[in-house]
């Protein structure tokens, strides 16, 4: 999973597009913490800065003065193809015979080997080992005169999940794959204050030369940059943003929608909207459904912080039990912070979560979380709560069990790592050490969403993949890091 943002800011300060893209990206930090980057164009030249690390560290104020131009894209990465190395950070950049382009990609392609066989010169030409690098090379090579035309020729050959922001010399272009696995929204920026009275009209929403536009993975980041949500980029659609012009829509494929339901259950921010639904409300209703499906006698309901909170609130409301915060989460312990070794864990070292003993001691707890992947985190949480004096721990999950790997941009690619794929529910309960365990059903998820099943991808829960997937799941993530002969197979 990754976060992408694009901005077109006519009439702004020279570094305003880069600043807005960086701020928009900052609201998407939860979507990827491995690397961050921004690419800008001044109309003639593209400039790019990227590095490994969190957004605030990589894109600090010292970088902005050199990122001049009124169009920009930004990306933060969570790797699903290729290792966490500098070369694999995005945006990617390539100067082709006809165009220079930079790309930020959220999602994962499923026909990377096939596409590699179409690249003249093969893998030796790729400086990085991501599917995005390969796509960038194919687009830069494409002899069509225009980037949009190149996209129309290349995209029909590309399979899998891709929500893209693309930068060429003059435009920011948004693209969503025909299933729309990953979200992408279009927003309208307010005009810069210094432009008022300088020949621009006063209205915020006038589609004139002063109007700025942006693209983002989530609506929450539109709020952060002061932009107004306009609409979703449609599955199978290309949206072209250019200074001084209204957005242009080009359809390159029929839509066959299958938005990742996990975006709504867990990944996206609770203050974002998808499919017209606020995600906090959706998750709260999932908690209500969970209480109906898996009631149990207890003293209080608590979330696994922070993501379990809305569902725990809904569970508490529906069950009539009090809601308490039974654990404190250290929000500053990112993925790159020191991870305790097995030995340190045995000594009781916990970096992120600490129980509130005054809340949990002597209590029968219902602990609500949004997923169990490998089971080790849930096991640790149950241990911590028991050690703090909880008399019973009932685990409730506001999603169905994850039986199948995801090939569309979430790093659960190996079936054997998924505890539900290899253990029965009774065995999982025993492994995590809970008194009882209950998962929300697919029917319960749909009732909370109040939307039809056909609109979503539920593949990791029911194994019905909207796009055929490669059988060699274990090698998929590093497909472009295999020896050249193997990767061409
Ligand atoms: Fe989302 Fe699961 Fe489908 Fe992957 S397989 S896109 S995580 S619903």
Residue 225's φ and ψ, nearest 5 degrees, are -95, 10
How is residue 156 written in tokens? Answer: 């029909």
Calculate how far, in angstroms, residue 180's C-alpha sits from the geometric centre of ligand 1: 12
Name the residue with the closest Cα to ligand 1, atom 6.
Answer: 260
* Pocket of ligand 1 contains residue 418 by CB under 6 Å: no
Of 483, 488, 391, 376, which Cα lies nearest the Cα of 432? 376
Query: Residue 156's CB: how many other CB atoms inside 10 A?
Result: 12
Q: Can you give the pLDDT at residue 203? A: 41
* Pocket of ligand 1 contains residue 260 by CB under 6 Å: yes
CB 42 within 8 A of CB 170: no
Calculate how far, in angstroms, residue 475's C-alpha sits from the geometric centre of ligand 1: 19
β-strands 46-52, 35-41: how paired?
antiparallel
Closest ligand 1 atom to the C-alpha of 405? 5
Calculate how far, in angstroms, residue 55's C-alpha sits from the geometric centre of ligand 1: 26
Closest ligand 1 atom to the C-alpha of 458? 8
Distance CA 379, CA 382 (A): 5
Q: What is the pLDDT of residues 218-255, one digit of tens each?
A: 999 999 999 999 999 999 999 999 998 999 999 999 99
Q: What average pLDDT does the chain have? A: 89
Calculate how far, in angstroms, residue 175's C-alpha sits from the geometric centre of ligand 1: 19
* Pocket of ligand 1 contains residue 410 by CB under 6 Å: yes
Q: Can you give the pLDDT at residue 197? A: 47
Closest ligand 1 atom to the C-alpha of 409? 4
pLDDT of 416 > 80? The answer is no
Distance CA 103, CA 167 (A): 6
Q: Per-residue confidence at 129, pLDDT binned at 50, 70, 90?
A: confident
**pTM for the whole structure:** 0.91
460 catalytically annotated: no
* Pocket of ligand 1 contains residue 261 by CB under 6 Å: yes
The one catalytic residue in 2, 76, 214, 460 is 2
């Amino acid at each position: 999973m990754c976060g992408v943002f694009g901005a077109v800011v006519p009439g702004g300060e020279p570094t305003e597009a880069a600043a807005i893209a960086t701020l928009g990206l900052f609201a998407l930090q939860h979507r990827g913490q491995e690397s961050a980057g921004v690419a800008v164009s001044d109309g003639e030249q593209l400039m790019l800065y990227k590095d490994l690390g969190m957004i605030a560290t990589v894109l600090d104020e010292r970088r902005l003065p050199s990122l001049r131009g009124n169009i920009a894209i930004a990306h933060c990465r969570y790797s699903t193809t290729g290792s966490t190395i500098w070369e694999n950070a995005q945006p990617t950049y390539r100067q082709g015979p006809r165009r220079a382009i930079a790309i930020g990609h959220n999602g994962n392609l499923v026909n990377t080997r096939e596409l590699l066989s179409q690249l003249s010169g093969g893998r030796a030409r790729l400086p990085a080992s991501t599917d995005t690098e390969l796509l960038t090379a194919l687009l830069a090579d494409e002899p069509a005169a225009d980037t949009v035309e190149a996209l129309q020729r290349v995209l029909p050959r590309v399979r899998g999940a891709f929500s893209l922001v693309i930068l060429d010399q003059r435009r920011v272009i948004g693209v969503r794959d025909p299933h729309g696995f990953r979200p992408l929204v279009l927003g309208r920026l307010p005009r810069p204050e210094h432009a008022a009275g300088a020949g621009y009209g006063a209205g915020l929403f006038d589609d004139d030369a002063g109007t700025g536009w942006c693209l983002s993975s989530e609506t929450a980041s539109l709020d952060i940059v002061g932009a107004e949500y306009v609409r979703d980029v449609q599955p199978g659609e290309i949206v072209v943003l250019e200074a001084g012009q209204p957005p242009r829509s080009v359809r390159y494929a029929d839509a066959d929608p299958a938005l990742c339901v996990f975006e709504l259950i867990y990944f996206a921010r609770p203050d974002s909207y998808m499919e017209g639904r606020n995600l906090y409300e959706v998750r709260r209703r999932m908690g209500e459904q969970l209480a109906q499906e898996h009631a149990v006698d207890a003293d209080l309901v608590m979330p696994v912080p922070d993501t379990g909170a809305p569902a725990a609130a809904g569970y508490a409301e529906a069950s009539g039990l009090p809601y308490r915060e039974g654990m404190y989460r250290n929000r500053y312990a990112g993925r790159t912070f020191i991870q305790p070794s097995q030995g340190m864990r045995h000594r009781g070292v916990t970096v992120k979560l600490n129980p509130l003993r005054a809340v949990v001691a002597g209590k029968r707890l219902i602990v609500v979380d949004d997923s169990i992947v490998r089971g080790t985190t849930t096991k640790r949480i149950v241990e911590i709560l028991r050690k703090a004096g909880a008399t019973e721990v009932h685990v409730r999950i506001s999603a169905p069990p994850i039986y199948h790997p995801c090939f569309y941009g979430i790093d659960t690619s190996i079936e054997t790592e998924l505890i539900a794929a290899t253990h029965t529910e009774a065995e999982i309960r025993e492994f995590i050490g809970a008194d009882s365990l209950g998962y929300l059903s697919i029917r319960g998820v749909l009732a909370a969403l109040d939307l039809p099943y056909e609109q979503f991808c539920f593949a990791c829960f029911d194994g019905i993949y909207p796009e055929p997937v490669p059988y060699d799941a274990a090698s998929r993530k590093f497909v472009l890091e295999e020896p050249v002969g193997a990767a061409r197979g």
